[in-house]
Amino acid sequence: GGLVMLFPFAWMVSTSLKPDRELFVTPPQLIPEPLTPQNYGRVAETFPVGRFVLNSLVVAGFSTSLQILTSAMAAYGFARLQFRGRDVLFLVYLVTLMVPLQVTIVPLFVEMRILGLVNTYPGLIVPTIASAFGTFLLRQAILSLPRDFEEAAFIDGASHWTVFRRIVLPLSRPALAAFGIFAFMASWNSFLWPLVVISSQDLMTLPVGLSNLHGRYETAWNLVMAGATISVIPIMAVYVTAQKHVIRGVALSGLKG
């Protein structure tokens, strides 16, 4: 099963190292002959890949940080605070997961235009600062935490904000790391919204910028795969760094089934 999952990535790297004449050779070869690492240089010469990567890092970094903050606060409210209509409100919040982006993209673009955020970094980031999935994931993690430390803190005069900041967040680090990976991957791979809201090449994220590698009449697939390989490297690095936290966070959040 692991080999089946890894084969498309191996084929992507293999194609990125093939010369033009070897792209459609029959039968296809997994190991390119000869190796052509110059394809990566051709991609860098054709488009400002460094700028695209920087834009994606800025957008993904801010989007992920804000999603973690808003989702953690909302999750604490739904898990620990008692108020009328809490469960109904949480259910309504989860229903938004069934609404696809394509349904809201037109009114969202009109809203960004009215606010003057079209073709700006805030226009890319603001619509992504809240996450119903993140709220659900972190709420499940907070519900699994023992209340003993929180009750002791309340007896000592701590407020909800103190309990949230000094007790709940440190104990929820595995779930926060897991959601951070999911949020970073979603933001890094986002294509439709950046395509709609950004028109300047200086603000394009990596997926949108690399889409320009597709030609009108023909496509240099070795260059496309070289760009795709570049886009995968940061996600792999982030995931490998936080792999233990991701596995533990998913297990503690109740999504392991």
Would you state the pLDDT for residue 19?
87
Count the neighbouring beta carbons within 10 Å of the beta carbon of residue 37: 9
Q: Residue 168: its pLDDT value, please?
A: 93
Q: Give the whole-angstrom CA distance, residue 107 versus residue 125.
A: 16
Q: Calculate the alpha carbon distances from 88 to 62, 73, 84 in Å.
A: 30, 18, 9
- Whether 141 contacts 252, CB under 8 Å: yes
pLDDT of 248 reads 66
Angle at 176 between CA 172 and CA 178, to 5 degrees: 120
Which pLDDT value is given to residue 257? 44
Longest dimension (CA), the chain: 74
H-only helix segments in the chain: 2-16, 38-46, 49-80, 86-95, 101-114, 121-125, 132-143, 148-155, 160-163, 169-171, 173-189, 192-197, 206-211, 221-241, 243-252
Among residues 223, 230, 222, the alpha carbon closest in space to that of 205 is found at 230
How many C-beta neighbours within 10 Å does residue 177 have?
Answer: 20
pLDDT of the chain along its 257 residues, tens only? 888 888 988 989 998 888 888 888 888 888 888 888 888 888 888 888 889 999 999 999 999 999 999 999 999 999 999 999 999 999 999 999 898 888 999 999 999 999 999 999 999 999 999 999 999 999 999 998 888 888 899 988 889 999 999 999 998 888 898 899 889 989 999 999 999 999 888 899 988 988 877 765 467 788 888 888 888 888 888 777 777 766 665 665 555 44
Distance CA 32, CA 24 (A): 12
